[in-house]
């Protein structure tokens, strides 16, 4: 009887062990990872190219992503663990140094595509001229991005500009693509019919970013 109980407990422990190992394998397979595609990348103590270098990772190596820093306009920073040390590696926004797997920043319809490059927004005149606030179009803008994007704008009134008699008006464009990357630009705007004050924002609220 005791022998049967021992065998049953042993079998249960084996099943628990198999389940635990299987769960760990599945979790690891689903984990957000990066593969180094550059020849090498320096690992730094913090998310800055001026911070202390603590290690180096090499092409083909894969690491689990522990954290991400998106506030740098030129680089995406990933926190990884190399050996016993945790540190940060950078990847260029436009020409990435890494490939991501299972990224939460990928498109739902195509999880292999991750894009951190900000849309390119261009206009070629210092001042955009239009009849009224109701006749504003975005035909004068050139926007370059590989994914879908949305363009919005806001109008700001500057009562006492430094360089000319007031008031003058500014239009701030915001372009956000499918990945959440954003570009903001400001252009002077000139109306034949001035907008009402409740149609515009105060110039002091304009954030050039």
Residues 35, 61 contacting (CB under 8 angstroms): yes
Residue 72 has pLDDT above 60, yes or no: yes
Does this model's pTM top 0.85? My answer is: no
pLDDT tens digits for 84-132?
A: 999 999 999 888 999 999 988 876 666 666 788 889 999 999 999 999 9
Q: Please give the C-alpha separations between residue 135 and each of 128, 164, 188, in angstroms, as whole numbers.
A: 12, 24, 16
Residue 69 has pLDDT above 50, yes or no: yes
């Amino acid at each position: 009887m005791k022998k049967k109980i021992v065998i049953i407990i042993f079998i249960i422990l084996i099943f628990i062990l198999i389940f635990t190992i299987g769960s760990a394998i599945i979790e690891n397979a689903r984990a957000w990872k990066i593969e180094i595609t550059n020849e090498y990348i320096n690992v730094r103590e913090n998310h800055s190219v001026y911070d202390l270098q603590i290690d180096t990772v090499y092409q083909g190596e894969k690491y689990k992503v522990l954290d991400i820093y998106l506030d740098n306009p030129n680089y995406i920073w990933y926190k990884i663990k190399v050996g016993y040390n945790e540190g940060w590696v950078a990847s260029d926004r436009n020409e990435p140094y890494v490939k991501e797997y299972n990224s939460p920043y990928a498109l739902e319809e195509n999880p292999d595509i991750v894009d951190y490059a900000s849309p390119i927004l261009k206009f070629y005149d210092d001042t955009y001229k239009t009849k009224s606030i109701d006749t504003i179009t975005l035909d004068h803008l050139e926007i370059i991005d590989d994914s879908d994007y949305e363009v919005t704008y806001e109008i700001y009134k500057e009562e006492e500009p430094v360089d000319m008699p007031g008031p003058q008006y500014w239009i701030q464009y915001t372009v956000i693509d499918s990945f959440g990357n954003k570009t903001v630009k400001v252009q002077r705007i000139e109306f034949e019919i001035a907008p009402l004050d409740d149609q515009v924002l105060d110039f002091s609220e304009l954030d050039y970013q």
